[in-house]
Amino acid sequence: MLLKQLYNNCTTKKPKDFTIFVTMKTVNPLYHILTRWFLLCTFTVQAQEAVYQNFEDIKFEQVAVDDDDGLTLRESGGQIYEDENGIIWTVISTGLFRYNGYSVINVTDYLSAKYHLKFGSEFGNCFYIEDVNTVWYGARRGLFKIDLKQHSAKQIVLDSTINEKNFKNYITRFQKSNDTLYVGTGNGIYLINTSNGRIMDTFLNDGIDYGFRFSSKNVHSMMPDVEPGFLWAALGDGFYKINLKTKQIEHYTTKTEVWDYSHYYFHGERYDNTLLMPSYGMGMVSFDLNSKTFIDYSTNTTKGNGWEYNIIRSAVRLSDTLSLVNASNLGYALFNRHAKTYNFLETPSVVEEDGAFIDVDRSGYAWSGQSGRLYRTTKPIVKTQNLFKHIIDIAKLSANGVIKYRPALDGYENLELNENETNVELRYSVTKPYIYDTVQYEYRKDSDQWLQPEKPNILTFFNLENGNHQIDIRAKHNGTILAARTLTFNIYQPFYKSVYFIPLCLILVFAIALTLREFQIRRKRKQIEIKADFDRKLNELEAKALRSQINPHFIFNTLNSIKYYAIMKSKEETTDFLTMFSTLIRQVLENSKQSLIPLNEEIETLTSYLEIEKLRLRNSFEYFLTVDDQIPKDFLVPPMIIQPFIENAVWHGLMHREKDRKLTVEFLGKEKRLRCIITDNGIGRKAAQEISKNKSHKSSLGIDITNERLEKLSELYDLKSHFEIIDLYNAQGEPSGTRVIIEFQNL
């Protein structure tokens, strides 16, 4: 195999892919100088092996996956990509996988399990590698931007659902152009700014519900590279040309009928004024950009002529005439766009089933995935200019037979092991080893002499001592170092095993014995005093709050209303009124026994109060109470903390308005925050204060007590909360109501 190794200029910065060395007592200073110099130099390699001279000789072979994290037990991959470090990425329904030449890691499953990222149970459809730390992940119920360095994931909500089983957030395709990520979904196209994750524009989001996650605007492919300023897209109901500047949309349809897949085209190549695209059931399809007409080129094989033999998921351009394709149930073939013929090649039997995607890596090798297996051509099929960089990728660190870290995802700094985890195994590989005839590995532990491992991709260490350890690994080909990496980790050393333990104990034991008891006594006494004082103040405040929770005037007036109902209304109406009133009193008394109650119980109490007020005031106002379904059911709030503000809104805002009285109460949730927004369209605070000058100020007193309660509860439960009262005005500057925002944080 003919190779050419290209060396980039050394820079003064340390590459992000290399780990900081841990200083050891016995390390030779000269070694550190030479090793650091080596790591500062990034080696960029590209295979220069000649491509197939006769494309009819193209052959695929199964890629060896020696250490698998679930890929080979699953279904086919729909996308394969090689990043700048030579890591192969693919996606199947169970997640996003990375392959370093030896080990396969389920990235989304691992991040979900270890760092509790919520996309772990989402079936994967597509992905886009933005850089070494950023991955866009398209799943069946969401779009996620994954930060591999920070171990975080941000979900970008595109739209609300059509119904429970049909998701507008079903991600089908990604296509990147400049800073824009084109996102295809089960119902239209979204343009996302990759830097901030914001939606820049949307197109064709008005599909008819087909059921099972799709609509008539289900996106099959997007091609922003066909014409500058335009986006071509294949959707369920047609082929579209979108002017990204004017938003003008042209719609083209074919007469071909293949079930619901008549416009199921995959990403194509432009030849002059013709767009050549693979399709789901029509073979290769050409679209004339001038005449806007379609021509289907079926496989026409003796095995059959049905649409199932014409499923072609991708095409790789080999020359101006030939493309490499894979037809369902038939295998790989060379498609001649001039002769409109297929020349079928030798194909592994597994890859023939249902067709397979084909992608080309940075060295020109073609890759396919089928039934959990990876296949690669035996040598490059095209010449590429995509440079890559070899790295030593350490897939996992196991201790006592249990996986502790995926260093490729957890980073290489501060890997900590427990005291008894002294048997360590490392699995690693140099990326893209298949472009070399042979690769030799060497390692050394704690700056000792270089050794060859017993197994090429596995290092095992038994009975390691507690403390810091450094493992250096390098890969060589014909004496030339391809890549090197250092892994540092620490096996916890208990204090009692330290050489300083006994001397330090002798020095400190006497001082500790003299001071510990006195310190504990003072601390306990102080804690008792603080708690007693705090409990006393809190009890006083809760008593005040209980007395102010239900205004006596409200009870008196409600009883009068019940009397009125008993005289003027039916027996059933009176009974209902009395039942609501008794329910409210019972709720208030029960809730007053607790400092915090679930939000749903507080909402029930507020609803009872509002219903009674509405009946008592002859239905003279309307209220609307909404609750965000993202708020956890066990969210805790102080009881009757919101009622004084609602009472103010009704009696000081709405009741002084002649008609069309409206009150809205909204509960919104975000992460660990709850916001309650109370809005009335009353006369406003200023006018209400003028009317209430000669009246008592019980409502203001209730709000003052509420404020004190929130302060005390914040000290006791770390319940950071506050409220804000906002005066509302119309376009003419006249008062149009009042809004109160109450916010709770860190419950």
545-557 tens-digit pLDDT = 544 455 565 675 6
Dump pLDDT digits (tens) for 304-350.
Answer: 557 888 999 999 999 999 999 999 889 999 999 999 999 999 998 88
Confidence label for 488 from pLDDT (cuts 50, 70 and 90): very high
Provide the pLDDT for residue 31.
44
d(C-alpha 305, C-alpha 319), whole Å = 27
* 249-252 and 238-243 beta bridge pairing: antiparallel
Closest to 667 (Cα-Cα) out of 699, 644, 633, 700: 633
Amino acid at 364: G
Does residue 735 have a pLDDT over 50?
A: yes
Mean pLDDT of the chain: 82
Starting at the edge strand that comes first in sequence, how are the strands of the sheet with 415-417 ordered? 415-417, 480-491, 467-477, 440-445
CB-count burial class (<10 Å; 0-12, 13-18, 19+) for 263: buried
What is the residue whose two structure tokens read 């916890």? 492
Highest mean pLDDT among 373-387, 396-410, 558-572: 396-410
Dump pLDDT digits (tens) for 160-202.
Answer: 766 555 667 889 999 998 899 999 999 999 999 998 899 999 9
CA atoms within 13 A on the CB side of 122: 24
Provide the pLDDT for residue 192.
96
First-last CA distance in the chain: 64
More confident residue, 22 or 40: 40
- Given a contact cutoff of 8 angstroms between Cβ atoms, the answer to whether 242 and 228 are in contact is no
Confidence label for 119 from pLDDT (cuts 50, 70 and 90): confident
Dump pLDDT digits (tens) for 347-362.
Answer: 988 887 777 899 999 9
Rounded average pLDDT over 390-403: 95
Closest to 205 (Cα-Cα) out of 191, 187, 222: 187
Q: In percent, how much of the chain has pLDDT > 70?
A: 82
d(C-alpha 746, C-alpha 282), whole Å = 57
Percentages helix, strand, coil for the chain (3-state, rounded to 5) are: 25, 35, 40
- Report the predicted TM-score, pTM, of the whole model to 2 decimal places: 0.63
Least confident of 10-24, 62-76, 94-108, 206-220: 10-24
Question: Looking at domain 55-387, which of 2.130.10.10, 3.50.50.60, 3.40.50.1820, 3.40.50.2300 is its CATH number?
Answer: 2.130.10.10
- Given a contact cutoff of 8 angstroms between Cβ atoms, the answer to whether 26 and 446 are in contact is yes
Least confident of 259-268, 715-724, 732-741: 715-724
Amino acid at 454: E
Class of the CATH-defined domain 4-47+389-496: mainly beta
530-745 CATH: 3.30.565.10
Rounded average pLDDT over 42-50: 47
Does residue 387 have a pLDDT over 60?
A: yes
What is the residue whose two structure tokens read 């119980």? 601
Closest to 99 (Cα-Cα) out of 371, 429, 436: 429
Does residue 45 have a pLDDT over 50?
A: no
Does residue 638 have a pLDDT over 90?
A: no
Least confident of 233-242, 379-388, 412-421, 572-581: 572-581
Does residue 215 have a pLDDT over 90?
A: no
Boundaries of every domain in the chain: 4-47+389-496, 55-387, 530-745
* 415-417 and 480-491 beta bridge pairing: parallel
